[in-house]
Structure 1
């Protein structure tokens, strides 16, 4: 698998079954990444989550090697789904932040091949001329279960990471609003006090003129 960011043309990962990346998407910016499938009918798991910025949402679109959009949506905070890469070639994954005029977004995403004959999946070594063994099959089943549980654990960690980052961003935003509101409140109180003093001075000046 190979990724290339549009505009930079830098290879980030090469020949791995799963790749995760965190990047910053500026306001009014669009970033695209690519994977190349070598076999038809490959299932690709696609996960992304907006960690911070604005309303924590982005637009995304996935195109096949012919340039046809096979999956897209707008203003999404996160997504975790599987697409069928039926054709061999380069698939395009694009993120857009066109709805934001000044807020940049931090996005995590991961793309993973789901292949039945995945060479990266943990398996028991096979001895030549060996006969089927119940114990070996049981150990392989245990390995598969551990692999599935680790995958579920990874997804849970990704979920908690996203929630933690968003909660921290919300806290920082709330603190900033309280700070500026407090400054505005102080200025308003000073302005009201100054206005009251001015009105009282005008009142007493008018009273003195009437007495004279």
Structure 2
């Protein structure tokens, strides 16, 4: 399946990104694509399995020349940043081959940044010449927001996984209780049948 995932931000930021949640059926391979306009752009890739099986998935990242840049098997989540050295279309693929019945629900982000990330300048005596106090505040706020976003993703993943485990446990308890009830009813019917056959045995009649 081929899906294009580009969502443009403000031109001043030169960033394209997407955040999606997708269901991947058993034995299914699903790929998403992002375009890189020039060499040197930054690619960010984050994913986390929210539900299904053991919360694991196979993944792969390929460049426009079909070269594998990242891959992993039975991974629960990942957070990667890499530099795109070749302009073109990059593929981000998930594969659920290890599961024959279970569907997996995956949250993921793909980010393309047109400029190298700007790092805050070192705190030296010349800091006032390099940046303003407002820019320093923006850098700090940006870092804090990124940390908050990562923390929210972490708790969101934990919540979904916990809910999936509880749901699975409830289903198991339901079927276990149902089998237990059917077993008790079957034993009661069997006992009644045995008692009836024991007291209603017929023998030969003899005339005196």
TM-score, structure 2 as length reference: 0.81
Q: CA deviation at 1:117?
A: 5.6
Detail structure 1 runs of 4+ shifted over 6 Å in the superposition: none
- The structural deviation recorded for 1:23 is 1.3
Please show how residues 32-181 of structure 1 align to structure 2 within 5 Å: 32-113=31-112, 115-116=115-116, 137-181=132-176
Q: Provide the rounded CA distance (Å) in 2 between the counterparts of 1:81 and 1:195.
A: 63
* Deviation at residue 110 of structure 1 after TM alignment: 0.4
CA distance in 2, matches of 1:60, 1:78: 10
| Structure 1 residue 106 displacement after superposition | 1.4
Conserved in 1, the CA contact under 8 Å of 2:6 and 2:34?
A: no
Superposition RMSD on alpha carbons, in Å?
A: 2.6
Q: Assess if the C-alpha contact under 8 Å between 2:37 and 2:88 holds in 1.
A: yes
Does the CA contact (< 8 Å) of 2:41 and 2:116 recur in 1? Answer: no
Which SS does the other structure have where 1:163 is aligned? Answer: helix
Deviation (angstroms), 1:35:
1.1
| Separation in structure 2 between the aligned mates of residue 105 and residue 70 of structure 1, nearest angstrom | 23
Mapped partners of 1:209, 1:166: distance in 2: 66
What TM-score does the superposition give when structure 1 sets the normalisation length?
0.80
Structure 2 gaps, min length 5: 10-14, 119-126
In structure 1, distance between residues paired with 2:26 and 2:47? 18
Q: Which residue of 2 aligns with 1:198?
A: 193
Matched residue pairs, number? 192
Distance in 1 between residues matched to 2:190 and 2:149, nearest whole Å: 61
CA distance in 2, matches of 1:182, 1:148: 51
The secondary structure found in structure 1 opposite 2:140 is helix
Query: In the aligned structure 2, how far is the partner of 1:133 from the partner of 1:55?
Result: 52
In 2, the alpha carbon distance for the partners of 1:43 and 1:13 equals 14
Distance 2:23 2:47 in 1: 13
1:59, distance to aligned residue in structure 2 (A): 0.9
Q: Give, in angstroms, the shift of residue 133 of structure 1.
A: 5.3
Partner of 1:127: none
